[in-house]
Structures are given as C-alpha cells and as structure tokens.
C-alpha cells in the first residue's frame, strides 16, 4: 500500500536509549502534524467505523454481547483494519508504522471493543508474523487479517504473571514423535471466549519455554466462566484449561526453548501500541469532560468558568499533548529504522521486530507514561462530572473502569519502570550505550564553579534546551552514582530504579514536547503556535520539580557525607528553570478548549 519514505539513505536518527546522552534534532523528528493525506483518509475511515458502528452499541458490548464483538471484528477485517500492518501477500494492507500508530489511536476511542482488536492484531497475530515459518504464515495470517480467524494469547498462569517464564504448563513430545501433548492452565486470556486459535506458551522437557499455535477447537480444551471484571467488560476474558491437548509438531512457533524471545519481543510492540491507544482514549475522554463542563451550571454559570475546573481541563490537555509528542516521536524513530533495515535487504516483519527491540526502553517508558496519563484524565473526568461521574448513565464511569487495566497488562507499570532502567544499564555494560563517560564528566563538573549567568544564549528556545541538557546531567549523575555503589546488585534496589525511571520518563516527555514545539514554530510561525509553547513550558516547569524531588529521594537513600551534599547541590543546579506563571498558562489552554467545546487546541 505504501512505498518507503526513507529512500535508501543512511539515517542519522538516535538509537534506543541515546536520548539520555545525545542531542536530538527536529530534522529527523516525526510529529502528528506530518500526517499525509493518505494517512488522514485511513485514520478517518477507522474513526467513522467506530463512531457509526461501535459507539452506538457500547452498552450492549459492555454487557458482554460477544456475538456483537465478533461481528464488529469481522466488519473491521473487511475494511482492512485488522490486517493494516500485515504484508499484502498475506491479505494485509502493508501500511507503515506511523500509519499503524494513527489506526491504534483511533481504536483507542472504542472502549472495551478496542481491547479485543488489540489482543487480536497484536499479541494474537504478531507472534506468527514475526516467528512463524512460511507455511504457518500462509495458513493463518490471511484469516487473521480478514477477521475470519480470531486470535488469543495464552501466557499468564495463576502462579506466573509478571514472572512469565515460571509457567507450569507443559508440552510433552508424544511417542509418535509428531505431536506434543499440552497440559496446563492459563488465565486472564483476552478473546478466549470466541477465539479460533491460541498462541500458547508451555515448558518442553520441564525447562524449555516454547510457543505453539493451537487450534482453539481442539479436543480437551475447556474454558472457564467469563471473568466478572472491574472494567473492559465488553472483552471476553476466561481461563483456558489444556487437559491433554494434542498439537502437531509443525505448530511449534519458532524454536523449542526460544519462546521467551516471542513473549518478550512481541510485548515491545504491544507496549508502544498500548500508549497509542490510550492516547486516543485520553482525547475522547477530554471531549466528554469539556462538553460537560460547558453544559453543567452551578452558581448561575457553566462550571467551565471556574478556576478549579480550568486547571483540571488544562492539565488533562497538557499531559495528553505531551504524551502524543513522545508517542509519535518514537513512532517516527521505529518507522525510520524499519525503512533503513528494509533498504538493507531485510524483510518487513523482521525489520519491525528488530526496530521495536532497538527502542525497547522507549516502548517501556511510553507504556508507563500513556497508561498513567489516561488514568489521570479519566479520574478528573469523573471529578468534573461530580455525582454524575459516579453514575453508569454517564460515560465517565465506564471510562474510569476501563482505563485501570492499562497499568497492569502488557507488563505492569512497575515492571516497565524497572525494565526501562535495567535495559539502559545492560546496554551500557555491553558497550552499546556509553553512559559512564558522560556520568564521569558530570562528577568533574560538580567540582567546578557553576555559571550564574543567563541560562542558555541565542535561539528561540535556548533556555529550554539548556534546561533539557541539564536534566540529562541530573539523571546521569544519580544513575551513575547508584550504579557505581550497587554494581551487579542494583536490580535489587527497585525503589531507586523506579525513581530513576520516573526521571527518565519526565525527561523524554519534556524533550519530545520541546522538539515538537520547536518544529511547529519553525514551520508555522510563533503566533499560530503560542498555545503549544504554553503547554511545553508548563510541562517542563513541573517536570523539573518532579525530577529534582525524585532525584533527591534517590540520593538521600544511598549517599552520605560530602558525596551526598555534592549530589544535592548538583540536583538543584541541574533542575533549575525560569519562573513560569503556570496558572495563567493553564487558563489560556483551558479557555481554548472550552471555546471549541472539545480537545482541539
């Protein structure tokens, strides 16, 4: 469907994790304002389907009408939504990664139906695309693209959630040498009630974690009752019992004993796409909140006129816009690497897999950022609705219930925080990322006399860029000292790792917002983009304070004496930013949305 946008040239894009030690450029930055006409049409097609076919039936879906869910999945398949990112030779549309991001954002506006779509197109389909042999791809992918086949992913067990490799489900090679016998129990399996095939992970010979493609209609598969969940009630979630299920040997996915590569690498894409989806959910929820604030009157005026409500609406928009900036920045990085790898002769599926693995740190951070932005947005939407927000007659309650799961699946927020820092440190230990040289340079800088002059010089956003540069120093200082103290034992210090992760997430988000703002000013001029400048500056101001506080908590936990004093002084020096009237800026942001009666800025 699409041709490569990067014409056989070597890209100068940053590699995964390099955002912490190198400067980024607007030249290679991708933003949602760069959406092509074809991409706009594709996103509009998905949006219209959700508005016309899904939203009118949201109550039926939420009450567990899975026949309707299946029917809508098949309709989406006919439109090409389910196979959008699959190669055309397997019945897909072959769209690039950026286009797929726009699709994910639109699907994120469809409440719990979107969960069924995500499970099917992501963890249900991608293992076959990335790790299946040619026969498996030809057998399953066309049906998955069209919606004739529905997929589910069977990884979690009662005793193994975050510790997926501790799974006890076993697969035993039968005497005929041609079949495996799978026995075990899986739980929290999305789409299990209507799936046609399962991606199942089991232990071969007790310790060889392996993936299988299993026909869901096989004998000796039993399903538990539908889970009575807090939210996403429209998605089918059941336990799956494999009680001696005979599976052909040719249904092994990838290699025996290499299932962890499938489970973990597919989750990189899943984490990114979750962020893109919750971004769509956040925008839809802000629309609801703004409209209600304009309609609801108290003390003889709309509540949208009150400062307390203005603050909430503005903060919802700020976090969403900044999350969007980070999301599409990462989408562009992954897309560019995919095109570069394809230009070098790699097939599309392998290129996507390797690009997502390269940016696994960014994907983990985005999963945390996006899920927590949506949680904030839905919580404040309920609050703006007051008592009506607690009533199921209004959409706020459903959004609140549905959002909570996002901090749990695709790896909990805690796991992803630990992973983001752990993967950075592992890259450094392997020599793939030089964190230690700049960290040592910062230690020397702390011994020098600081400059008390104006922060930055020249350029539209010189102060902001100097601030970003210093925030990186703050993080490297804390992470470097922490790594030096704990060495190989650092992964046991989870509280410290999560503090550093939060510092990294704030930095990546703030830098993404600044890059996007600068690019908008360069292309559209300052006057038409002043509100985006307000958003960026407000977020950066708050991020500096959070980074200082998280850094302080970390260094006080392990530092002492002169070393501690030096790090605290360094944190104060590196997290300074100019004074910003954030109350006035938030009022401007809120007033724009209130005037438009929706999220548009």
119 φ, ψ (degrees, to nearest 5): -65, -40
Residues 6+ apart with CB under 8 A from 446: 477, 566, 567, 569, 570
Cα 238 to Cα 67: distance, rounded to the nearest angstrom: 16
pLDDT by residue (tens digit) across 555-596?
999 999 999 999 999 999 999 999 999 999 999 999 999 999
What is the percent of the chain where pLDDT is above 90?
87
Query: Strands 221-223 and 301-302, how do they pair?
Result: unpaired
Q: Are 247 and 171 in contact (CB under 8 A)?
A: yes
Task: Give the DSSP letter string of 137-187.
Answer: HHHHHHHHHHTSS-EEEE--BTTBSS-GGG---EEEE-TTSSEEEEEEEEE
Can you give the pLDDT at residue 162?
Answer: 76
Can you give the pLDDT at residue 2?
Answer: 42
Does the domain at residues 421-596 carry the CATH identifier 1.20.140.10?
yes
Question: What number is the average pLDDT over the span 255-278?
Answer: 94
Which H or E run includes 102? helix 97-107
494-524 and 462-486 helices, crossing angle to 10°: 160
Position 526 confidence tier, pLDDT thresholds 50, 70, 90 = confident
Alpha helical stretches, state H, 404-529: 413-429, 436-446, 462-486, 494-524
What is the percent of the chain where pLDDT is above 70?
96
**292's torsion region: left (phi>0), alpha (psi -120 to 50) or beta?**
alpha
State the average pLDDT for the chain.
Answer: 94
198 φ, ψ (degrees, to nearest 5): -115, 140
Task: State the burial class of residue 207 (Cβ atoms within 10 Å of its Cβ: 0-12, 13-18, 19+).
Answer: exposed
Domain residue extents for the chain: 31-149, 153-257, 261-414, 421-596
Cα 374 to Cα 516: distance, rounded to the nearest angstrom: 21
- The fold for domain 31-149 equals Butyryl-Coa Dehydrogenase, subunit A; domain 1 (1.10.540)
Position 241 confidence tier, pLDDT thresholds 50, 70, 90 = very high
**Catalytic residue positions?**
410
pLDDT by residue (tens digit) across 394-409?
999 999 999 999 999 9
Which residues on adjacent β-strands are paired with residue 199? 153, 213
Domains 261-414 and 421-596 share a fold: yes
Reference 189, options 124, 257, 259; nearest CA is: 124
Question: What number is the average pLDDT over the span 77-83?
Answer: 97
Cα 513 to Cα 496: distance, rounded to the nearest angstrom: 26
From 103-107, 123-127, 237-241, 433-437, the region with the lowest mean pLDDT: 433-437
Helices (H) and strands (E) in the chain, counts: 19, 10
Domain 261-414: homologous superfamily in CATH? Butyryl-CoA Dehydrogenase, subunit A, domain 3 (1.20.140.10)
pLDDT by residue (tens digit) across 329-379?
999 999 999 999 999 999 989 999 999 999 999 999 999 999 999 999 999
- The fold for domain 153-257 equals Butyryl-CoA Dehydrogenase, subunit A; domain 2 (2.40.110)
Position 508 confidence tier, pLDDT thresholds 50, 70, 90 = very high
pLDDT by residue (tens digit) across 40-74?
999 999 999 999 999 999 999 999 999 999 999 99
pLDDT by residue (tens digit) across 178-216?
999 999 999 999 999 999 999 999 999 989 999 999 999
> Higher-confidence residue: 289 or 454?
289
pLDDT by residue (tens digit) across 432-463?
999 988 888 888 888 776 655 444 445 789 99
Can you give the pLDDT at residue 343?
Answer: 92
């Amino acid at each position: 469907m699409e041709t490569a946008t990067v014409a056989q040239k070597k890209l100068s894009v940053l590699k995964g994790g390099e955002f912490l030690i190198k400067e980024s450029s607007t030249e290679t930055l991708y933003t949602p304002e760069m959406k092509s006409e074809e991409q706009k049409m594709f996103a509009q097609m998905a949006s219209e389907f959700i508005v016309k076919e899904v939203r009118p039936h949201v109550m039926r879906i939420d009450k567990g009408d899975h026949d309707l869910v299946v029917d809508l999945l098949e309709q989406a398949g006919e439109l090409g939504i389910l196979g959008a990112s699959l190669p055309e030779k397997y019945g897909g549309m072959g769209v690039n990664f950026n286009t797929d991001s726009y699709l994910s954002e639109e699907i994120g506006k469809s409440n719990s139906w979107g969960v069924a779509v995500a499970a099917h197109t992501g963890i249900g389909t991608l293992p076959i695309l990335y790790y299946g042999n040619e026969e498996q791809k030809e057998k399953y992918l066309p049906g998955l693209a069209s919606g004739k086949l529905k997929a589910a992913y069977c990884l979690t067990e009662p005793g193994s959630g975050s510790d997926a490799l501790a799974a006890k489900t076993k697969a035993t090679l039968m005497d005929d040498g041609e079949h495996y016998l799978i026995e075990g129990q899986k739980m929290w399996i999305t789409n299990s009630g209507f799936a046609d095939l399962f991606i199942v992970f089991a232990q071969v010979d007790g310790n060889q974690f392996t993936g299988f493609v299993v026909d869901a209609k096989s004998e000796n598969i039993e399903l538990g009752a539908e889970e009575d969940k807090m939210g996403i009630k429209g998605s089918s979630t059941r336990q799956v019992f494999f009680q001696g299920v005979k599976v052909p040997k040719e249904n092994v996915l990838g290699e025996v004993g290499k299932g962890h590569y499938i489970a973990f690498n597919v989750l990189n894409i899943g984490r990114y796409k979750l962020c893109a989806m919750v971004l769509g959910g956040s925008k839809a929820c802000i629309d609801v909140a703004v409209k209600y604030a304009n309609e609801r009157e108290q003390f003889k005026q709309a509540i949208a006129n009150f400062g307390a409500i203005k603050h909430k609406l503005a903060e919802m928009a700020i976090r969403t816009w900044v999350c969007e900036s980070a999301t599409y920045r990462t989408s562009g990085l992954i897309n560019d690497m995919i095109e570069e790898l394809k230009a070098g002769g790699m097939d599309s599926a392998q290129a996507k897999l390797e690009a997502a693995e390269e940016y696994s740190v960014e994907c983990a951070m985005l999963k945390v950022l996006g899920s927590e932005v949506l949680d904030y947005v839905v919580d404040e939407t309920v609050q703006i609705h007051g008592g009506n927000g607690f009533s199921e007659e209004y959409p706020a309650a459903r959004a609140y219930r549905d959002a909570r799961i996002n901090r749990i699946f695709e790896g909990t927020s805690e796991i992803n925080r630990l992973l983001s820092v752990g993967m950075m440190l592992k890259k450094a230990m392997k020599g793939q990322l030089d964190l230690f040289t700049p960290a040592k340079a910062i230690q020397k800088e702390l011994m020098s006399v600081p400059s008390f002059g104006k922060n930055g010089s020249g350029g539209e956003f010189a102060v902001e860029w100097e601030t970003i540069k210093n925030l990186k120093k703050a993080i490297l200082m804390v992470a470097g000292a922490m790594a030096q103290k704990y060495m190989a034992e650092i992964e046991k210090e989870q509280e410290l790792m999560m503090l550093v992760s939060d510092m990294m997430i704030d930095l990546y988000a703030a830098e993404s917002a600044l890059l996007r703002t600068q690019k908008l000013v360069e292309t559209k001029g300052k006057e038409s983009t002043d509100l985006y400048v307000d958003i960026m500056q407000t977020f950066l101001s708050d991020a500096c304070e959070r980074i200082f506080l998280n850094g302080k908590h970390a260094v006080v936990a392990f530092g002492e004496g002169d070393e501690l004093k030096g790090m605290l002084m360094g944190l104060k020096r590196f997290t300074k930013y100019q004074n910003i009237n954030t109350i006035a800026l938030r009022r401007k942001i809120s007033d724009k949305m209130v005037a438009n009666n929706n999220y548009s800025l």
